[in-house]
Homo-oligomer: A and B are copies of this chain.
Amino acid sequence: MPPSSPRWPLLLAAAVLWCSSLLAAAPSAAAKVHHHTWDIEYQYKSLDCFRKLAVTINGEAPGPTIRATRGDTVVVTVRNNLGTENTGIHWHGIRQIGSPWADGTVGVTQCPILPGETFTYRFVVDRAGTYLYHAHYGMQRVAGLDGMIVVSEPDGVVEPFAYDQEHTVLLMDWWNTSVYEQAVGLASDPLVFVTEPQSLLINGRGRSNYCSPAAPLPTLFTAAPGKTYRLRIGSLTSLSSLSFQIEGHSMTVVEADGHYVKPFVVRTLFLYSGETYSVLLKADQDPSRNYWAASNVVGRKRQTPSGLAILSYAAGNDPPRAPPTEQQPVPPAWDDVAPRKEQSRAIVAHPDHAVPAPPAADRTLLLLNTQNRIDNHLRWAINGVSLRFPATPYLVSMKRGLRGAYEQRPPADAYDYRGYDISSPPTANGTVASAVYRLALGSVVDVVLQNAAMPNGKNETHPWHLHGHDFWVLGYGDGKFDPERDTGRFNLRDPVMKNTVPLYPMGWTAVRFVADNPGVWLFHCHIEAHVYMGMGVVFEEGVDRVARLPTSIMGCGRSRGLP
């Protein structure tokens, strides 16, 4: 399946889409500029009754929620006070149209921000929805540098659902170990895994086994009977896939990753790291008592206490923060994949807000996900290549023609999908490289992620996240993807657009995107340990069209001394 030249009708369609997205992004007369100044530093925090260092934003971990209206500009001035450690912040779900240097992906779009330095991110939030931000440097996100971004529709724009009030719900997992300890374990031979998390956090508060039973629980929110609430829920777990339940209440899913979806009702919402959802919850239960909100690990054998918070009713009998006397909701079986796949398939575009997908791809990448032993270390590889970020950010080296700064040989578009046995441990070794897929600007690209057995014979769920774009989710399948058989089964009728999508055990996931955003963009598993171990690929498109790069993203590797 070699790369073909772009089909021009599609390119035209893509260009139209692109232009309309640019128009949507263009600040209107009413557009505002939101300035934030963030001091990043370590502080001792007891988020789950265990006191440890967390990376904080203005003293908070997780950080504050950024709020803006579609078309606004967000300016975040980041001061790194971490002492000896660098940083960089990714605005997860923001496509950075026209500002690829503000994506915050260290090694891809910028040099790290050094201690003592200040870096300014400036970008337009060009679409309403629920987004995230987090450190994108090594495994630094494990230390708590994250938060949510809420982009509202401008006044007068009606969303396809109604609610009385909204609340944010940020889900995380948390450890008593440091990023350094985790990373050293992962790079060791034999590998020492990060362990299951010590706790699950809801809005930055959790209950580890270090907590006394009397430790107070956070309030999710206080409901007024009969009212409808929009919960903007995001997962920034480092490792865990989650279920989220609110005892006694059902939730209507209305948004996913910034796109309106055809509403569907769940009792349990599954979230993978990097995903966001808006759900509507009607306060329609007995208002005299409190209710449990609970997050739980799924997909890996559950060893972590539930993340817990309390939904209370205004003027109810229970004190606002008192644990309900009722049993916590029964979490789904951790190893039952069926309901999770069912949810994934239920997420389709809202009929009134669907963006039609191009009917066919110009180029298809079949990406085999394997865990390999390379250079005496266990790593993840895509088509046999385990990604290592170069010392010079791709965006700089590609735009400025520093050819020695990254691997010039492109990785393979496909693996031997006819011969490869996905149910057996990998036999080949793979290589570590900083290779790049160079995409024709405006071309339509299909990516089919293929899961396969690990060396231990097992298989995991991987949430893949694309920077700089949304993709249409064309389908999920079990077993091995067969281009001849399965391409025809893609959902082109009502595919939802997302930026993060799960790849299920022993299955495949197909997405399509238009390579219409000049820049260099990471596509990777959103599990911190996995991308740290090489589980990602890099896309370049139209880097020659990128405007003059700001000097502030340079200074490292071969970009030292560039004027």
Contact residues of A with B, CB < 8 Å?
A: 41-44, 53, 83-87, 107, 111-112, 114-117, 137-140, 178-181, 183-184, 187-188, 389-391, 551-552, 554-557, 559-563
Contact = CB atoms under 8 A, between A and B. Distances in A.
Nearest to A116: B391
A116 B555 contact: no
Contact of A83 (B42, B138, B554, B557): B138
14 contacts: A42-B180, A42-B183, A42-B184, A53-B184, A83-B138, A84-B179, A107-B116, A114-B556, A116-B556, A116-B557, A178-B180, A554-B561, A561-B562, A561-B563
Contacts of A41: 184, 187
Contact of A117 (B87, B115, B551, B556): B556
A563 B180 CA distance: 34
Contacts of A563: 561-563
Main secondary structure of the interface of A (DSSP, over half): loop
| A87, A139, A140, A555 pick with most chain B CB within 10 angstroms | A555
Contacts of A85: 84-86, 180
Contacts of A86: 84-86, 114-115
A563 B390 CA distance: 21
Contact of A551 (B139, B389, B556, B560): B560
B112 A557 contact: no
Contacts of A83: 138-139, 179-180, 183
Contacts of A187: 41
A87 B83 CA distance: 11
Given A53-B180, A84-B139, A552-B560, 20 more contacts: A41-B184, A41-B187, A42-B183, A44-B184, A83-B180, A83-B183, A84-B85, A84-B140, A111-B555, A114-B114, A114-B556, A116-B557, A117-B557, A178-B178, A178-B180, A554-B555, A555-B555, A555-B560, A555-B561, A561-B563
Given A84-B137, A84-B140, A138-B83, A389 B180 contact: no
Contacts of A84: 85-87, 112, 137-140, 179
A107 B114 CA distance: 11
A120 to B, nearest CB: 13
Nearest to A88: B84
Contacts of A181: 53
A83 B84 CA distance: 11
Contacts of A556: 114, 116-117, 555
Pairs of residues from A and B, 8 with the lowest C-beta to C-beta distance, nearest first: A555-B555, A84-B138, A551-B561, A555-B560, A116-B391, A83-B138, A563-B563, A42-B184
